[in-house]
Chains A and B, each alone.
Chain A
């Protein structure tokens, strides 16, 4: 966690809607997200989650306060269109694909006007659809795809210009548990393979549990923050999966824990856990 830089930061972010009956959708939000982090935002309906995401994605301007992306104040960014196209990718609750375009053409939409040649676009869209496992369905229209497949196209589309950050607003809201898990796993894979930062709004605890950190919002403020896991958990998983690790540990983590091995405590590794990790590192 130490060396990674902050990629998104908000300072005293306030957003007020309406003139007469004012709605304080955001009421002084301070938060920071590290590059490569996978963050969930939770909270009741109307608590300001979507509004926060819209501010970060430069879809709307805050009433006051600042949003910094890559250290740059969004209020100073001249060409917001180009910022949206290149720096962030959006995934919406409803897939929001263009119904007249095929999966592949939908993925190409954000690339238009960004200096890609026609051939580059074709190549990249094919690659991305392969990445999300839809190589076979490239030329299908959205209404010929299932809900999960559509959302995967939306993920590929969000990746089109290889953005540093992907903002997903309830991406699994319309899907069943199995489909949700597919999408979340996909996002995790991308988070690892490409190092893309994810900020995901969700109501699904199962989804939230798989992220690095959960921000809980209520009435336009961030009221709590949970760290689900720390950077070592991944290494532990690797250790767990390797033959050596299995031999070393002789059992899965749960078994060790069940057997009373104090691997961690209060979210932190114990000395024992730390030691095991270092041992593994040397192998």
Chain B
């Protein structure tokens, strides 16, 4: 009976299955990717044949971890240690504008041994080739169509491919290996490594070694090669993201599920009455409906698992980045998907089933199917609003789906603008007219030689030049402390208004932002440890810009040392003698230094690549929101059209034209979209505000909601409405009046 009921409405059943299976597919696919990443990291560390791995404490990922190479030299002198190998991981831009993972290894070390060269030579054996030698992973070679002997340009340097390797781990096989110093030069991190592999003389020394490391290097984390992946914060982040997307998918699956069951129960009200009149008990009716819902959910779950596996397969073919980490399907992933689906079935089916079982036989038999509710005739807006009101629960669920997507846009957009505003404030405060950063690169990686600065400063039309560096450092008390490097005697540092103590004058000094001082419990005279150096707190400052107030300022020289960029700065703030000439000077400077971007301080916002990246991210999320929103909308509107088939037939019989019917359905979808957009915007603002309450980097950014964000959100919602409504509306107009009238 359950199957017969489901097959009675094939279109609807299929739609429901699609809805549920997409949710399940999201869970399965994202889960598999994050597991693949985990497996990739584990395989990498295990393959190294090391016993232990050392990384920087609190680093988001091994890729952002950074420590001094000399630590390795010290460790080698310890009696427990058999061998130490430093490795630098970085992601570099290559010739076809895609990214490639670059592993820097010591060619003579033990850790490089697991890169089994299948073609060409080992890195250690290379003699007399032109260009710097590079080993390319097998999958990378396939992707880039490169052979042994070819060249490969990586961020400006040319490498010669001397061999192709294969380790069997997707992450490694999708990258390239170069000698450590080359990797350090590429990543602009001279004498620094991401992690250290340690081989012990005897496994029983492990505990003693660990204790010793902890005593000696407070900012290093130690883990076994097998336990390494658990330390990776990026995995936690990705897993969190997977949960988020899965949550959204479950909501949409829920919308679909509830939709279907309500429709199915409503349209069979008389039938249920008949069953009850024939002696069925409440419980039997309840189980019948629940059975249908669970069957649907389970079928959808199975289809979703298939879809998830297939899409992961396709993605890893299409995307080099994800392809780089293999993916992994574990049984518990499938279990999780099926449990989710089971809960979905129970929750989606519970209320309709309960409602059906509560029906009195007589009442149900007389049921006419007109459910406007007495209230609905007072609603403004005619048929459109009333049709949405008719299925309140469905409308609310659909709104929820759209709203959440829109909320993401608004919250992220608000943060992006807040960040931009903060940044503009920093730049403006530096009393500069022009602002210079390395061209075509994320500002985090910008590096300008100080000689460029001196040349600019020497120009007659330039009044002053201030170099600056901005970086994040992990400290014990604050996981991501912003460190600014300014020259103590250049004008830009003046913006850090000292409210306690005195300004920065020499080496080994630091001034601390008011909020950072509060969070870390620092007073004037205390000592702050940054990476391997100690700094004395000489003053507390306040600028009023949240981001700066949770940071600290040290001298430019020391900041250069800290970031491993000697004689280089990230940005230059340039003050002119005649600010009105700013544009002309900018054009001249751009011609002189093509590798550097010069921006008018007033226009900095738009030209910042960080901002562009952020904007792009917002755009991408908007796209995703349109997709998810449109999917929910599509389902809701299709159901709505299906269940109103007869009604549409009547309208057509009464002389309504196709266009009029199309308009009605589209209007409903648009109203749904706009209301969803507004709810989402409100939700987004609250979300942004909540993020603002969180301590740390996020908290420092005051989100700013420009009208543009709201316009974007509403437009996105409307597009979702139009896209999701178009097909159902079109379908509604294609129905022939007679067929529609005969529809049961």
Decide whether A and B assemble into one complex: yes
Q: Mark A74-88, 1 if CB is under 8 A from B, else 0.
A: 000001011111100
Q: Mark A41-77, 1 if CB is under 8 A from B, else 0.
A: 0000000000000100101100000000000000000
Contacts of B386 in A (CB 8 A): 100-101
Is A143's CB under 8 angstroms from B738's CB? Answer: no
Q: Does A213 contact B (CB under 8 A)?
A: no
Is B387's CB under 8 angstroms from A109's CB? Answer: no
Are A92 and B658 CB-contacts (below 8 A) given A100-B390, A101-B383?
no
Q: Does A144 contact B (CB under 8 A)?
A: yes
Is B653's CB under 8 angstroms from A59's CB? Answer: yes
Contacts of A109 in B (CB 8 A): 651, 654, 656
Query: Contact check: which of A92, A113, A142 meets B370 at CB < 8 Å?
Result: A142
Is B369's CB under 8 angstroms from A99's CB? Answer: yes
Contacts of B738 in A (CB 8 A): 54, 59-60
Are A98 and B650 CB-contacts (below 8 A) given A141-B376, A143-B370, A143-B371?
yes
Task: Tell which of B370, B382, B651 has the most Cβ of chain A within 10 Å.
Answer: B370
Are A161 and B372 CB-contacts (below 8 A) given A59-B737, A60-B738, A100-B390?
no
Q: Does A90 contact B (CB under 8 A)?
A: yes
Give residues of chain B (619-653) contacting chain A, Cβ–Cβ below 8 Å.
646-647, 650-653
CB distance from A12 to the nearest CB of B (A): 21
C-alpha spacing A92/B649, complex, angstroms: 12
Quick one: closest A residue to B375, CB to CB?
A141
Is B653's CB under 8 angstroms from A82's CB? Answer: no
Chain B interface, number of residues (Cβ within 8 angstroms): 30
Is B374's CB under 8 angstroms from A112's CB? Answer: no
Is A96's CB under 8 angstroms from B372's CB? Answer: no
Q: Does B657 contact A (CB under 8 A)?
A: yes
Q: Does B377 contact A (CB under 8 A)?
A: yes
C-alpha spacing A99/B643, complex, angstroms: 12
Quick one: closest B residue to A163, CB to CB?
B655
Query: Contact check: which of B370, B371, B654 meets A85 at CB < 8 Å?
Result: B654
Query: Contact check: which of A54, A82, A102 meets B655 at CB < 8 Å?
Result: A82
Quick one: closest A residue to B663, CB to CB?
A113
CB distance from B375 to the nearest CB of A (A): 10
Q: Does B734 contact A (CB under 8 A)?
A: no
Q: Does B660 contact A (CB under 8 A)?
A: yes
Q: Does A148 contact B (CB under 8 A)?
A: no
Query: Contact check: which of A84, A90, A99 meets B390 at CB < 8 Å?
Result: A99
Quick one: closest B residue to A57, CB to CB?
B653
Is A92's CB under 8 angstroms from B383's CB? Answer: no
C-alpha spacing A135/B647, complex, angstroms: 25
Quick one: closest A residue to B378, CB to CB?
A139
C-alpha spacing A245/B368, complex, angstroms: 49
Quick one: closest B residue to A154, CB to CB?
B650
Is B377's CB under 8 angstroms from A141's CB? Answer: yes
Q: Does B265 contact A (CB under 8 A)?
A: no
Is B376's CB under 8 angstroms from A100's CB? Answer: yes
CB distance from A233 to the nearest CB of B (A): 33
C-alpha spacing A85/B657, complex, angstroms: 9
C-alpha spacing A13/B368, complex, angstroms: 36
Interface size class of A (residues with CB under 8 A): 20 to 34
Q: Does B389 contact A (CB under 8 A)?
A: yes
Give residues of chain B (360-374) contacting chain A, Cβ–Cβ below 8 Å.
368-372, 374
Is B377's CB under 8 angstroms from A96's CB? Answer: no
Is A84's CB under 8 angstroms from B377's CB? Answer: no
C-alpha spacing A196/B56, complex, angstroms: 91
C-alpha spacing A128/B96, complex, angstroms: 74
Is B655's CB under 8 angstroms from A161's CB? Answer: yes
Quick one: closest B residue to A157, CB to CB?
B654
Q: Mark A94-113, 1 if CB is under 8 A from B, else 0.
A: 00111111100100011011
Is B655's CB under 8 angstroms from A100's CB? Answer: no
Q: Does B153 contact A (CB under 8 A)?
A: no
Give residues of chain A (121-164) contacting chain B, Cβ–Cβ below 8 Å.
139, 141-144, 157, 160-161
Is A112's CB under 8 angstroms from B656's CB? Answer: yes
Query: Contact check: which of A105, A113, A139 meets B657 at CB < 8 Å?
Result: A113
Q: Does A114 contact B (CB under 8 A)?
A: yes
C-alpha spacing A60/B740, complex, angstroms: 11
Contacts of A90 in B (CB 8 A): 653-654
Contacts of B382 in A (CB 8 A): 105
Query: Contact check: which of A85, A100, A114, A143 meets B383 at CB < 8 Å?
Result: A100
Is B390's CB under 8 angstroms from A86's CB? Answer: no
C-alpha spacing A85/B651, complex, angstroms: 10
Contacts of A96 in B (CB 8 A): 646-647, 650, 741
Q: Does B736 contact A (CB under 8 A)?
A: yes
C-alpha spacing A147/B368, complex, angstroms: 10
C-alpha spacing A109/B650, complex, angstroms: 10
Is B656's CB under 8 angstroms from A143's CB? Answer: no
Are A84 and B655 CB-contacts (below 8 A) given A100-B383, A141-B376?
yes
Q: Mark A163-177, 1 if CB is under 8 A from B, else 0.
A: 000000000000000
Contacts of B658 in A (CB 8 A): 81
CB distance from B267 to the nearest CB of A (A): 13
CB distance from A112 to the nearest CB of B (A): 7
CB distance from B530 to the nearest CB of A (A): 67
Is A99's CB under 8 angstroms from B650's CB? Answer: no
Is A139's CB under 8 angstroms from B655's CB? Answer: no
Query: Contact check: which of B374, B660, B736, B737 meets A144 at CB < 8 Å?
Result: B374
Quick one: closest B residue to A103, CB to CB?
B377
Contacts of B372 in A (CB 8 A): 99-101, 141-143
Is B371's CB under 8 angstroms from A112's CB? Answer: no
C-alpha spacing A110/B656, complex, angstroms: 7
Contacts of A144 in B (CB 8 A): 374
Give residues of chain B (326-376) contacting chain A, Cβ–Cβ below 8 Å.
368-372, 374, 376
Is A143's CB under 8 angstroms from B654's CB? Answer: no
C-alpha spacing A84/B647, complex, angstroms: 16
C-alpha spacing A160/B650, complex, angstroms: 14
C-alpha spacing A163/B295, complex, angstroms: 51
Contacts of B374 in A (CB 8 A): 141, 144
Contacts of A86 in B (CB 8 A): 655
Quick one: closest A residue to B385, CB to CB?
A100
Contacts of A85 in B (CB 8 A): 654-656
Quick one: closest A residue to B379, CB to CB?
A100
C-alpha spacing A244/B285, complex, angstroms: 69
Contacts of A79 in B (CB 8 A): 657
C-alpha spacing A84/B660, complex, angstroms: 14
CB distance from B579 to the nearest CB of A (A): 61
C-alpha spacing A141/B376, complex, angstroms: 9
Contacts of B660 in A (CB 8 A): 112-113
Quick one: closest B residue to A144, CB to CB?
B374
Is A110's CB under 8 angstroms from B376's CB? Answer: no
CB distance from B534 to the nearest CB of A (A): 74
Contacts of B390 in A (CB 8 A): 99-100
C-alpha spacing A141/B386, complex, angstroms: 12
Between A and B, 29 residue pairs with Cβ closer than 8 Å are A57-B653, A59-B652, A59-B737, A59-B741, A60-B737, A81-B656, A81-B658, A83-B655, A84-B652, A84-B655, A85-B655, A90-B653, A90-B654, A96-B650, A98-B383, A98-B647, A98-B650, A98-B651, A99-B390, A100-B376, A100-B386, A101-B383, A110-B654, A110-B655, A113-B660, A141-B374, A142-B370, A143-B372, A144-B374
Inter-chain pairs besides A59-B738, A109-B654, A141-B372, 12 sampled, C-beta below 8 Å = A59-B737, A59-B741, A81-B658, A84-B655, A86-B655, A92-B741, A96-B647, A96-B650, A101-B372, A101-B383, A109-B656, A161-B655
Instruction: Spell out A's residues near B (CB within 8 Å).
Output: 54, 57, 59-60, 79, 81-86, 90, 92, 96-102, 105, 109-110, 112-114, 139, 141-144, 157, 160-161
Closest 3 CB pairs of A and B: A85-B655, A143-B370, A99-B370
